[in-house]
Structure 1
Amino acid sequence: MLLTPRPPAPRRRWLRAAVLTAASAGLVAAALPAADPLGIGDPLFPHLGNPGYDVLAYDIDLTYPGKNTEPLDAVTGIEAIATESLDRLNLDFTHGTVRSVRVNGAPAAYSTSGEDLVITPEERIERGDTLRISVTHTSDPSGPADTGGWVRTSDGLAMANQADAAHRVFPSNDHPADKAYFTFRVTAPSTLTAVANGLAVGRTEHGATTTWSYRTTHPMATELAQVSIGRSTVLHRTGPHGLPVRDVVPAADEKVLEPWLRKTPEQLEWMEGKIGPYPFENYGLVVADAETGFELETQTLSLFERRLFTDRRYPAWLVESVMVHELAHQWFGDSVSPRRWSDLWLNEGHASWYEALYADETAGKSLERRMKAAYGASDGWRAAGGPPAAPEPPSPGQKISLFRPVVYDGSALVFYALRQEIGTEAFEQLERRWVADHRDGTATTDDFAALAGEIAGRDLTAFFKAWLYGKKTPAMPGHPDWRSAPVTAAKPG
């Protein structure tokens, strides 16, 4: 995620019991203690994710009624493997009405607790069992735009699920630590176009409506899911090595957006020259006529505000560097996803690094000058939001406040310091190894520090401890004259 530029709870085990009574019209669980919202222990989002199972695949069927203020009918299928024995299991889900739940084909009891859907199947689940869960529900796009999930555009909908809003759209294990394959089927009025992550695998017309089907060929975190529905044109072009590139744009804006969109293939070539092959099956932009306040790296189909490209107050070099920021995320954050949300600095810091490097190399916007300015502000950023790898939780009711300057240029500054510390050749080797070794997986800050030490051939523990967890910014290697401005203002309450 990049903000649009402007002119812990402990892990719990499920309690177990053997008695379940079920009624045909509304299944009710008996003999089990009251359901609790669970979580996997992420300090920044204590109730996000759920223990006890590993999701392998989602199959999401959405029916759009034609108005973006009305709920969509939906069926979410989940295939998972139980990692422990369970009498019931939790899914993250809120802001929708559940109509029925089935587990392995049989009706299951369900209730809600906090933002969790708590499911009690007819039979106890044993460790290693395959689970096939089907939830029939609604998906409600109403509500404040800043809560995430569905974004209402001028002609339909798009998704912006980062960091914890996918479960406002569909039931899920809503944490990037549990990535899975996705299939989407979207039924909408035939006057509209529906597009989702991955490759198109089918299109069926039913008179007044059309069903569009898409499937990912790489696992994806729930926060990166994207479905766009609207009066859109889908533009196709070819990237490096024959990579399919598709852009989804408002039909009326095709000509005005084309000068920007045709830059994507050369940006892909530039990124591949830095860190290696693009990691997914296709890429492109979805341009939404909506004011979100940010751009977002949804996997294979990055979300952009229309105004970034149409407001002439934004200089061309800035627009292009923002495009590269979201493209870089396809490697950093999407292919290699954070194990915990405190690993966010690896996503945003890397995307900001390549954004700045691209501006330096293609537009003469000095990387060193930008890093020196970041260094000057760094102590203030750390005081306001914590150090890069130990960010403070988002403000209550303002989840987007997690995305503070310290995770952008404050974290890119760490990469600049690391390059100064180990040398350009070792740094570039590290970057390529990182995305290759952890492709399609998740990784942690400790993983990155260990790989950096291996490639540098020496222990970098002290370096990373100071740069990632210190309250004050360490001295910049090679620039002893750089100074961070004194922190004088009181920390916001």
Structure 2
Amino acid sequence: MPLLTRRLRAALLATASATLVAAALPAPEPLGIGDRLFPELGNPGYDVLAYDIALTYHGSNTKPLDAVTKIRARTTAPLDRINLDFARGAVRGVEVDGRPAEFGSKNEDLVVRAPRRLPAGVPVEITVRHTSDPRGSGDDGGWVRTADGLAMANQADAAHRVFPSNDHPSDKAYFTFRITAPEKLTAVAGGLPAGRTRHGATTTWTYRTEHPMATELAQVSIGTSAVVHRTGPHGLPVRDVVPAADRKKLEPWLRKTPAQLEWMERQVGRYPFEAYGVLVADSRIGFALETQTLSLFGKSFFTEPAYPEWYVDSVMVHELAHQWFGNSVSPASWSDLWLNEGHASWYEARYAEEHGGPALERRMREAYRLSDGWRADGGPPAHPDGPSPGQKLSLFRPVVYDGSALVLYALRQEIGEAAFGRLERAWVRAHRDTAATTADFTRLASRVAGRDLTAFFDGWLYGKKTPPMPGHPDWSSAKPA
């Protein structure tokens, strides 16, 4: 047998050591923070402050990426073990505060034994050396394979299929991404550029967020991309990332973004982040996603001739509205999803009405007609049924879109347009960069309205049947089939 090189011998020893360490950890168990819809998602005992994620892409979206995820956190309870959400990757080694740590896995949890018992209230740094595997990605989210590389679609519970994390929107953190890729490719991520370094045939691109972000909103794209820069309101950097070959074809849509930003600012106040833009993926994804500062769309959304212009425009505004509702103000639990999708659908509908689409009242009347059926199929807006087994995206049902926008329409009918406008601005101002609950929203609405709205919200958010629409006693809901 030939002599092993020093580097290869070290690598084999490290792998063997990691295997032995993993095997030594007894009975790892998944924990979770008790989210009603995703009970094993998130982890108790610590608060993540920042992620530093290094990804090395080897030029093929069918091969695992090499990765190092560093997590800076603070304990909130004494910990002997640290649970992280992680699946679809091989863990090669873990360190806690610079010391090698034992680890094991169960279900979709990576369980790390701390080198010592950690008291509450102390900083801790966890480093995980792992792979990030795009193979097998599908409807359950994570990496999206494109014609020329990769992008991310992590909603609702799929960020941990890309990197180890506390994968729940209630634990927001700052992110740094360091992406190494072949020099012919372009790598982008959420936040702002923070440097680019050439290493022979590869380039490392660094990006940082200036505001905390939920894991489900992280975005990294690698591909043969053109990056198009323009300026939005107040000098806001607007950065679009598109397949290089389609730049001219997509420009008529992309140049609309500054005006859409201005429209949203007139509704709810200043844009809450450091940059915005549209990421167009050359992929057959059948959805758009509000990844923070860089909303994801499939290319066919802009090239499908059957879509009228007002429809494409309004869906662009839907994802833009999420930057306020869902991104800046994140849901404290997944049962609060209606606050994200209801608001985004509300502003989508209003923008459509002003730009050639159907009248808002017509759309809301149709939603009212269907509302009892939606509630029967998926639960009421603020207490939705869980996703169907093996179909995580089934959580995103009509009741959390137009069914929840209907709640906002009813609220505006109940308290008046002026008070509703004050509420919307106060909501995104009071909870900026945090996670908030349905109860937070209903309390604020009562305060702005100057009266107790508990009975109103009990029916509209939790009732099995849709309450009568204020101001429209003639509206009726069809009986569920």
> Shared fold by TM > 0.5?
yes
Q: Specify the code of the residue in structure 2 equivalent to 1:116.
A: D
Q: Which residue of 2 is the match for residue 26 of structure 1?
A: 20
Query: Identity rate of aligned residues, in percent?
Result: 72
Contact kept, 8 Å, 1:145 with 1:292, in 2: the verdict is: no
- Paired residues of 1:146 and 1:292 also in contact (CA < 8 A): no
Trace 1:441-452 onto structure 2 (pairs within 5 A): 441-452=434-445
Deviation by residue 1:390-446 (Cα, 9 ceiling, x = unmatched): 000000110000000000000000000000000000000000000000000010000
1:363 to 356, 360, 376: 356
Match of 1:240 in 2: 233
Q: Which whole-Å CA distance do the structure 2 matches of 1:27 and 1:125 have between them?
A: 20
Please say if 1:313 is aligned against 2:311: no
Confirm whether residue 79 of structure 1 aligns to residue 69 of structure 2. Answer: no
Report the Cα distance in structure 1 between the residues aligned to 2:293 and 2:161, rounded to whole angstroms.
21
Written as runs of structure 1 = structure 2, the 5 A alignment for 1:207-356 is 207-356=200-349
Say which SS state the counterpart of residue 473 (structure 1) adopts: coil
Q: 1:141 aligns with which of 134, 147, 150?
A: 134
Change (3 A) 1:462 1:190: same
| Counterpart contact for 2:311–2:357, Cα < 8 Å | no
- The code of the aligned residue for 2:460 comes to W
* Alignment-mate amino acid for residue 60 of structure 1: I
For the pair 1:422 / 2:425, whether they are aligned, the reply is: no
CA shift, 1:487, in A, is: 1.2
1:207 Cα deviation from its structure 2 partner: 1.9
The alignment's C-alpha RMSD in Å is 1.2
CA distance, structure 2, for counterparts of residue 336 and residue 169 of structure 1: 23
What secondary structure sits across from 1:122 in the alignment?
A: strand
> CA separation in 2, counterparts of 1:487 and 1:219?
42
Q: Which amino acid aligns with 1:86?
A: L
Q: Which runs of 5+ in 1 are unaligned?
A: 1-21, 489-493
TM-score, normalising length: structure 1 = 0.93
Q: Which of 171, 175, 196 matches 1:178?
A: 171
Aligned twin of 2:370: 377
Deviation beyond 6 Å, 4+ runs, structure 1? 22-25
The answer for the alignment partner of 1:462 in structure 2 is 455
For 1:53, the aligned partner's letter is Y
Alignment partner of 1:474 is 2:452: no
TM-superposition CA deviations, 1:240-265 (whole Å, max 9, x none): 00000000000000001000000000
- Check the 8 A contact 2:329/2:434 in 1, yes or no: yes
Write the distance in 2 (CA, Å) between the matches of 1:346 and 1:24. Answer: 43
CA contact under 8 A between 1:275 and 1:435: conserved in structure 2? yes
Which residue type is aligned with residue 26 of structure 1? L
Distance in 2 separating the partners of 1:29 and 1:260 = 53
Residue-pair matches, total? 466
Contact 1:29/1:120, CA 8 A, preserved across alignment: no
Superposed displacement of residue 362, structure 1: 2.2
- Tell me the CA shift for residue 156 of structure 1: 0.2
The Cα offsets for residues 50-108 of structure 1, whole Å up to 9 and x where unpaired, read as 00000000000000010000000000000000001011110000000000000000000
CA shift digits 1:253-284 (9 cap, x unpaired): 00010000000000000000000000000000
Distance in structure 2 (CA, Å) of the matches to 1:164 and 1:24: 27
SS in 2 for 1:293: coil
Shift, 1:124, TM fit: 1.1
- The 3-state SS of whatever aligns with 1:325 is helix
Note the alpha carbon deviations across 1:222-247, whole angstroms, 9 max, x for none: 00000000000000000000000000
Q: Hey, what does 2:478 align to over in structure 1? A: 485
Q: 2:42 aligns with which of 45, 49, 52?
A: 49
1:33 CA drift (Å): 5.8
Q: Does 1:157 align with 2:150?
A: yes
Amino acid at match of 1:267: Q
Q: What is the alpha-carbon distance in structure 1 between the residues aligned to residue 82 and residue 96 of structure 2?
A: 11
After superposing the two structures, state which structure 1 stretch, 357-366 or 222-231, moved more: 357-366
User: What CA distance in whole angstroms lies between the structure 2 residues aligned with 1:429 and 1:61?
Assistant: 42
- Cα deviation, residue 23, structure 1: 6.6
Q: Is the 8 A contact 1:49 1:175 kept in 2?
A: yes
Q: How does 1:167-206 map to 2 (within 5 A)?
A: 167-206=160-199
Matching residue's letter, 1:416: Y
State how far apart, in whole Å, the 2-side matches of 1:343 and 1:336 are: 11
Matched with 2:406 is: 413
1-side partners of 2:340 and 2:114: how far apart?
A: 38
Say whether the 8 Å CA contact 2:137–2:144 is kept in structure 1: no
* Partner secondary structure for residue 245 of structure 1: strand
Preserved contact between residue 107 and residue 121 of structure 1 (Cα < 8 Å): no
> Match of 2:414, as an amino acid?
E
CA distance in 1, matches of 2:71, 2:20: 21
User: TM-score of the superposition, structure 2-length normalised?
Assistant: 0.96
Seen in structure 2, the aligned counterparts of structure 1 residues 316 and 200 have a Cα distance that, compared at 3 Å, is same
Contact kept, 8 Å, 2:79 with 2:114, in 1: the verdict is no
Q: Could you report, residue by residue, the CA deviation over 1:118-140 in whole angstroms, capped at 9, with x for unpaired residues? A: 00021111111111100000000
Aligned mates of 1:214, 1:266 — CA distance in 2? 26
Please, which runs of 5 or more residues in structure 2 have no aligned partner?
A: 1-15
Deviation at 1:161, TM superposition (A): 0.2
2:106 maps to 113
| C-alpha distance in 1 between matches for 2:22 and 2:370 | 56
Contact 1:60/1:184, CA 8 A, preserved across alignment: yes
> 1:451-488: per-residue Cα shift (whole Å, max 9, x none)?
00000000000000000000000000000000000112
| Deviation, structure 1 residue 145 | 1.8
Q: 1:409 to 1:63 in 2, by over 3 A?
A: same
Query: Helix, strand or coil: the match of 1:147?
Result: coil
Distance 2:27 2:88 in 1: 21
The answer (yes or no) to whether the contact 2:157–2:168 under 8 Å persists in 1 is: yes
Q: Take 1:237 and 1:253, find their aligned partners in 2: how far apart are those partners? A: 17
